[in-house]
Structures are given as structure tokens and as C-alpha cells.
Structure 1
Amino acid sequence: MIDQSLIDLWHGFGVAFQFHNLMWSFFGVLVGNLIGVLPGMGAMSAMSMLLPLTYVMNPVSAILMLAGIFYGSQYGGAIGAILLNLPCHPPHAVTCIDGYPLTKRGKGGTALGITMISSFFAASVGIIVMIFASPLLVQIAFKFGPAELFSIMLVGLIAGGTMSRGAPIKGVSMTVLGLILGMVGTDVNSGVQRFTFGFPDLADNLEIVALALGLFGVAEFLLNVNRMGAVGSNMKLGMKDMRPSRAELKTAFWPMVRGTLMGMLFGAMPGTGPTITTFLSYSVEKKISKNPRSFGTGNIAGVAAPEAASHSKTQVDFIPTMSLGIPGDPVMALILGALLIQGIQPGPQLITEHADIFWGLIASFWIGNILLIILNVPLIGVWVKMLRVPYKYLFPLAMVFICVGVFTTQNSLFRVGEVAVFGILGAILLLLKFPVSPILLGYVLGPMLEENFRRALLISDGSLQVFVATPISATFIGISCLLILLQLLFWLRNLMRARKVRESAGVPT
């Protein structure tokens, strides 16, 4: 089996290195990288605009171009999140939490270097998994039914609610707010509109791009609108600043490995997007860290882990998309649509009936990731120089890109209004010292949590025992209970410490 996979991979490199395929792959990577850097733009915008081009293209070239845009935008999105606190792609919202503080400390180049290393490592591991473990991962994916998916998402919500800095109750309250926002729109089971308040545009749910850019990008600009200087005016601009120190690489290594493994796990599960993966990866790193309070102030692990998770997830995501026809997120759904446009039906027979597409795509991943490194290393000076742009110029330019990017998602000015509302809300919450990242987590996980909960109950005729009936689901339910118990113990411990301090100071309790 391994010998045959290596032979097929060699054939894939032969396909990917054909001149026209290589040029389209380079074009996709370049466009994706540039689009990812621009505030308000993203892979969906670029791929949607170029999708009509695939009608007249060779099927292999078309898929290689779209895939290049996809993982190219992952690199570019990290640049915007780290340097400008603008998560152009929702998974990078987590990267903002520690990436932007590193930039403000003059370590933005280091953060980008760690991102590049983590991304290339995770992508390479993900590609190897695609080559040798696709059949096994597909079998694992089939073991996750509604009860198992609900259980693992419950763990994510509980962990995410307490992963932010500050009081856990604030994180939990923001997670609940995200759950409420996720309920806005049309119920998938009954077709009834919920919490739309008479606005027809809300029937299609709140726009996640508007939510992410409002809470993280616009809110940050509003809080700093009177600052006339630049974010990183004292930052070094040499390429050598991208080279992390040995100590920083040591700090990032194990988070990078754990993030890669988490991305592979979620990549095998149909219907789970990269945003869930990055949030859970960040949450795990904070929970196991010896210094969790350092997260949110510029911790290298807070950049390495989610970026590795995002890129390994991106690569492994192609397994359920290509072999089962089940997209992991909206971008994968678009690539699935491109295959169908070409008259190619994704499924178990794809590998044998369209070997050029499958193995050429896998080979192009390695080629594309190397091209991204070649592109980004000399361009680092350009990205860092963006920080020298004063806010009085950067603010209006960013607002234009944000508005254009959000408008193009559904060609609706209503979505632009959503960005404004969430931007103001985010600024108010930040002023009140509330974390905003759990809102996005609650919004993403909430609808899927509800849907899988209801499906599981329908299958079991309303019996809650379905959630502990299988080992996988029972394990994750147990982890959820353990997390709640640990938070209660931490709260009681802090309460007792505070009481002792007051008693030693002679303050009456």
C-alpha cells in the first residue's frame, strides 16, 4: 500500500510540474496571499470572483488554482491578524489574541516567522496524512454521529468560555452571547425565523465575516482612532527579524506539534470548520501552560498552536471533501462546486477515476507551500512597513477594504451595517474589560451544537442516554464535567486565598 502511494505521489508531481498547472498553482497562491493580507477580504471573496474562470479551464488546473487561493489566503490572513489585528479569515481571530500584542512589543517579525515555520510543518504533516492515512481517517470520521459531535463541541464551548484573560464568568457570559447571536436566522429543522426582529436580511443568519471583522478589527480601530502615529513605528524591518531565537523555537515546538495533531483530528471530521480547530487548540495550550496568564499578552505558543492547527486542518480537510463529498467549511463547499462544474463527482471512486486531480492536488500542496515561503520571505519588509502607516491614513483605508470585503459576501449593504454594529459593541466590551474572542466561538459552535443535539434526541426518541451510550461521546461528556469541576475548584481556592489575605490584614470578612 505504501509503495503504491509513493508511485501515485510521483505521478502527482509529474502532473503538478506541468507548466500550465504550475503557473495556475502559482497564480492561485499569489492571489490568495495578497487577498489574505487585505483587511476585509478573504478566500471566499477571491474564489467566488474567479470561479467563473474555471468553466473554461482544464479541471486539474482549475482545482490547483482554487486550492492555491485557499491555503495562500491562510498565510496572508495570519499576516493581517498579527500586524493589524484584522482577522480577514475567521480562524485567524485566535491569532490576534497573542499575535497583535507581539507586534505592539516590536516582535511582529518573530510572530510571522513562527507562523511560517508552524504553517509549513503542519501543512507537510497534513499532506503526509493525506497520502498514507486517508482510508483510516475516513473510517474514523464515520464513527462521529450527532451525539459524538455534540459532545466534542460542548467541550469546546466550556473550554473556550474560560480560555480568555480575566474572570471566567466574563468569558462564559461572552460565550453565551455568542450562542444567542448564533440562534439568529432560520431554524434548519422547522424553517421558522428566530430573533430577526422584522429584518428579512437576518433570515440568512448573521454574517460571520462581519462579526469577526467588527469585534476584532473595527473595535480596535475605534479604540485607537485618535492615535496619529503608527502601530509599530519602532519595529525593525530586516528579514533577520523573522528568525526566531532558539528559545522561541523551543517554546513554539510542542504547541506546534499539538496544534498539528488537533488539526488532523478535526480535518477527518466532516462538517467541522477550521475556526473550531484554532479556538480549541488555543484553549488546550492555555489550559496546560505553566503560565496561563501570559496568554493574551504576546505568548509565542498562542500563535504557533492555532496556526499549526489551521494549516493541518486545511490540508486534511480535503479528505472528506474529495473522498466523501462532504465539505468541512464554506470554502471546501466552493471547491466541491468547482469539481461538480467540471462534471467530476467527489466520492470513493475519485482516486481511481481521476487520479490526475487527486494526486496532482496533493503534490501541488507541497509545491504551493514552498512557493509561499519564497514569496513571503522577501516581502516581509513590505508587510512590516504597513505598520509605519499613521492611523489617520490606515483607519479609512482599512474601513474601505472591510466594507468592500463584507459587501461582496452577499452583495448587501445590510452586512456592512452589521460590521458597524459589532465594531461598536466590541469597542464597548473591550472598554469594560470583557473578552470578545469567546463570542465568535459561541457563534460558530452554537448552531452546530444545537443541530446535533436535536438530531441525537430524534434518533434516540428523546432519551438523554444517547450522549453516554458510546465510548467517544461518554468520554467527551466526562471531560466537560471535569472542566466544570476544575473551574469550581479554582474559584473556591481563590476565594479561600482572598479570605486568608483579608484575615491576615485584619480586614473583617
Structure 2
Amino acid sequence: MEEFGLLMQGFAVALEPQNMLLMLVGVVLGVLIGVLPGLGGANGIAILLPLTFAMPPVSAIIMLSCIYWGALFGGAITSILFNIPGEPWSVATTFDGYPMAQQGKAAEALTAAFTSSFVGAFVAIVMITFIAPVIAGFALRFGPPEFFAVMFLSFASFVGMSKGPALKTVCAMMLGFLLAAVGMDTVTGQLRMTFGSTEMIRGFDFLVAVIGLFGISEILCSIEDGLRFKGQRAKIDLKVVLRVWASLPRHWLLAMRSALIGCWMGITPAGATPASFMSYGVARRMSKNGASFGKGRIEGVIAPETAAHAAGTSALLPMLTLGVPGSPTAAVLLGGLIMWGLQPGPMLFTEQKDFVWGLIASMYLGNIAGLLVVLVAVPWFAAILRVPFSIIAAIILVVCAIGAFTVSNAEFDITLMLIFGVIGYVLKKLDYPLAPLVLALVLGDRTEEAFRQSLLISEGSLGVFFSNWLVSTIMAAGFALLLWPLISWLRGLLPGLPARRVRPA
């Protein structure tokens, strides 16, 4: 009951006129970001984050979280109408969504996608409402060794659950740690890797790096691909919405199963993209009409959209309670909180109750606002894709430059942004993941600080990371995930052990 009372206080904060307006603006901007292929929630939030510097932290995070909800909704529009995934997790939606559009059922497919997305996010928000305070209360017992163990587990999860080669994930992560170490050492006050440059003393701002790594690199990739937008048209009316809503209860088991898959994949660092593919695969295997998937079945739209939204929303749970983001977008939001002087983690629920519960309440309201906006304005958002991409790319480039400059009002940051853009482009072409790099860049300083504090407590003994059952369990889980690719490889070599079956995407 205490959580319910705090949630009502959060609604009082979120329902303030200023926050309601920012919520609507955030959803609209998010849908625009989701519609533009490749831009993505993390990129959009990184680019627009400087706009919130003058806002109170509660209002700023409400707007940014609503940009996230809008981006989640917007990705389905291009997937279904144009067969172009607006987001990576929307790829699975194209399998049945675009065939439905070709059959003249674009409105039905869009309505099912938006409604399923709403259901998936709602399940995840309810989970956050009731589980987050419990996790935060438990985490109050954490000291530096436990915090380092949690961060180690998070990094190890990216290695163990990576879709690509584990070595590439580790290399990207090490590059992130290297970039995070540039500047002044907060413990000793000495300069590290500045090479005599005064500009490098403050280190690499994560926001400048993220804008370059995601935004600029994506523009370069899109220009290389030569995007051309041609697709189906759709207009959603009330009759279509009511007809689809009347048919959706028949698929309640599919929706709940997909939501649970999404929540689990979101809490772990697997993310929304694997969740959508896994949910689609499970739905196809468990359906009586599995052979017809890929030809325009509504179940093929419900499953990936429900899972993707559940995963994208539940990724905020470890960020709020432990200070460890579960997705690249959550990592960008984490960096924003730190810039506003807020420290995500268990103390946030004690010291900043209005902020935390205002954010959770805005999740409910932003999810509803996102559903209404996309149902009403699909034709307008789809029309954006008829603008030549050269114009869209130029606008995005200017917004990126403005965003990078406003972080510290330094022209050097624009140069850094372009350099990071080229680095991100090269990493993408070589199939190196960017998410581990961003996570290491954001959490590198905090991980190093927790590690050094732990060694100070133990007078240099690494045994402090196995000094009690809690930290030992977390570290053991981390090592298991870190070594999982090697274990899987060895299982494939040894004749006495069953080889790990690799399911094609």
C-alpha cells in the first residue's frame, strides 16, 4: 500500500500542466525519431538531451522518457508501411506486418502493433512499480564490493549474451573504459592521457561521444545505403480500431507470454531486439498455423511488438534501482541523471522520492499518450518519409552539432563529435557492437571508483569480492556469463558433451 500512496504522489507531479505538455512534446518527438530509420531512441535522446538542461530534473526526465516511448511506437510505422525497420527491434515486425499492408490490412496491422506495444509496456511498468522499491531496499545493504560486483555482472552479461563474437564485445568495452579514463583522476587529482591538451583535461563527455557514435555514424551508414522510401499508405479510423480491439483478447496468452519474455530480456542486458526475435520464434513454434507466419498473420505482429516494448521499458528497472542501465537508451538516460546531479541507485528511492515516483507515473501517462498519438496521426508521421533523405540527413546533422556544442559551449566538442562519428561508422562496418562501448563510457568512472574503494577497504586483497555470500554470488554469476562463450565453444568440441544448438535469426 505504501507503493500505491507514493505512486499517487507521483501522478500529482506528472499531471502538472508543464509536465503534461512536455510529455506530449516528448511523445511526438519520439515518434518522429522512431519513424526515421536508424536514428533510434538512444540517438534521439542523446541529440535532444541538451534541450533539457534548463529544465528541472523531474520535467527533463519525463520528457526524455516520453521520447523513448514515442520512439518505441514509431518504429512499427516504417516496418509495416515501408518494410524498413525504424528501430532494430522492429525487424521482426516486418515479417508479417508488411505482408498485411500489401494485402490492404495496413490499418489492422498498425492498430495491432500499437495496442500490443501498449500492453507490453504496461506490464513492464506495473512490474517496475512493485519490484523496484523491493530491489532498491535490498540494495541499500550494498557497499563498494557489491556495487563493483553488480557492474561486473552487467559487463559480463553483455559478453555472455552477445549475438556476435565475444571478442568484439570485449574490445568495444575496453575502448569504452579507455575513453572513460581520459582526463583528471578523481582520486589522485593527476591527469591521465591528456597528452598536454587543455581541452582533454575534462575528458570525453559521454553525450558528445554518444551523439557521434550513434547519430553521425548512422547518417554516414544511411548515406552509403542510399535510402529510398517507397511504401503503402494507411489511415486508421475508429471502426478499424474497435474491430481489431475486439479480436485481440483471443491472443491474450500470446501477449502475456511475449510480455514476460520481454521483461526478462529487458532486465538482463539482452535488450529489445533479441526479445522481439525470441518472442516471434516462440509464437511461430507454438502456433497451430506456424507455417503461415511470414505471410501476413496478426500474431506475427503482436508477439514482437509486445516483447520489444516490455524489454525497452523494463530496462529502466536496473538503472533506477542499481544504477546499471539495461540498454543503450537507459545508459544515455543514466548519463543525463548524473549530469543533473542525481545518483541512480537505491538511495534515489530514499532521497528523491518525488523524482522517482513522478517518473514512474509518467510512464503510465506517456504510454497512454503514445498510443493515442500514433493511432490518430499515422498518416502525418508516414508522410515524413516522403521527404528526400538528403534533407532529413542535413537537418539531423545540424541538430547533432547544436546538441554537442551546448554541452560545454565548446567548438572542440563538435570536432570530437565528428571524430566519434567516424569511429562509430568504422565499428559498425566491422560489426563491433556500440552498446558495450557506451555502457563502459558511462559507468567506467563509477566502476573504477568502486574497485579502488574495495581494495582500500581490504588493504589490497582481491578476496573482498568473495567476502560474503551476496558479493560472492554476484561475482560467480558474472564469471559464469563472462566465460559462457568459451564454455559453449568447448561443449561443441568435446565429443562427450552435446553441442550448443545455434538457432538462425
TM-score by length of 1: 0.68
- Quick one: which amino acid aligns to residue 279 of structure 1? P
| CA distance in structure 2 between the aligned counterparts of 1:303 and 1:117, rounded to whole angstroms | 9
**Match for residue 124 of structure 2?**
122
| CA distance in structure 1 between the aligned counterparts of 2:307 and 2:443, rounded to whole angstroms | 20
Instruction: Summarize deviations over 1:280-332 as a string: whole Å, max 9, x none.
Output: 5569969999989xxxxx999887667535535658977899xxxxxx93544
**Match for residue 196 of structure 2?**
198
Q: 2:443 aligns with which of 434, 445, 454?
A: 445
| CA distance in structure 1 between the aligned counterparts of 2:482 and 2:366, rounded to whole angstroms | 43
- Quick one: which amino acid aligns to residue 125 of structure 2? A
**Match for residue 475 of structure 1?**
473
- The answer on whether the counterparts of 1:158 and 1:484 sit within 8 Å (CA) in structure 2 is yes
**Match for residue 89 of structure 1?**
none
For the pair 1:279 / 2:269, whether they are aligned, the reply is: yes
| CA distance in structure 2 between the aligned counterparts of 1:254 and 1:45, rounded to whole angstroms | 38
**Match for residue 17 of structure 2?**
23
Q: 1:233 aligns with which of 230, 233, 241?
A: 230
- Quick one: which amino acid aligns to residue 121 of structure 2? S
- Could you tell me how far 1:486 is from its partner in structure 2? 2.9
- Could you tell me how far 1:140 is from its partner in structure 2? 1.0
Q: 1:115 to 1:492 in 2, by over 3 A?
A: same
- Could you tell me how far 1:253 is from its partner in structure 2? 4.3
**Match for residue 92 of structure 1?**
none
- The answer on whether the counterparts of 1:41 and 1:401 sit within 8 Å (CA) in structure 2 is no
**Match for residue 98 of structure 1?**
89
- Out of 449-458 and 214-223, give the one that drifted further: 214-223
Q: 1:388 to 1:358 in 2, by over 3 A?
A: closer
For the pair 1:71 / 2:65, whether they are aligned, the reply is: yes
- The answer on whether the counterparts of 2:145 and 2:454 sit within 8 Å (CA) in structure 1 is yes
Q: 1:221 aligns with which of 219, 222, 238?
A: 219
Q: 1:392 to 1:106 in 2, by over 3 A?
A: farther
Q: 1:113 to 1:210 in 2, by over 3 A?
A: farther
**Match for residue 32 of structure 1?**
26
Gaps of 5+ in 1: 52-61, 86-94, 264-276, 293-297, 322-327, 338-345, 498-509
- Out of 253-262 and 69-78, give the one that drifted further: 253-262
- The answer on whether the counterparts of 1:196 and 1:203 sit within 8 Å (CA) in structure 2 is yes
| CA distance in structure 2 between the aligned counterparts of 1:350 and 1:450, rounded to whole angstroms | 25
- The answer on whether the counterparts of 2:180 and 2:440 sit within 8 Å (CA) in structure 1 is yes
Within 5 Å, which residues of 2 pair with 1:363-374?
A: 366-374=364-372
- Could you tell me how far 1:126 is from its partner in structure 2? 2.7
For the pair 1:430 / 2:420, whether they are aligned, the reply is: no
- Quick one: which amino acid aligns to residue 372 of structure 1? G
- Could you tell me how far 1:202 is from its partner in structure 2? 2.8
Superposition RMSD in Å: 4.7
- Could you tell me how far 1:10 is from its partner in structure 2? 6.2
- Could you tell me how far 1:278 is from its partner in structure 2? 7.1
**Match for residue 144 of structure 1?**
142
| CA distance in structure 2 between the aligned counterparts of 1:319 and 1:428, rounded to whole angstroms | 34
SS in 2 for 1:394: helix
- Quick one: which amino acid aligns to residue 395 of structure 1? A
- The answer on whether the counterparts of 2:49 and 2:403 sit within 8 Å (CA) in structure 1 is no
- The answer on whether the counterparts of 2:213 and 2:421 sit within 8 Å (CA) in structure 1 is yes
**Match for residue 45 of structure 1?**
50
SS in 1 for 2:223: coil
- The answer on whether the counterparts of 1:260 and 1:312 sit within 8 Å (CA) in structure 2 is yes
| CA distance in structure 1 between the aligned counterparts of 2:280 and 2:62, rounded to whole angstroms | 38
Gaps of 5+ in 2: 34-38, 80-85, 99-108, 283-299, 324-332, 343-347, 496-505
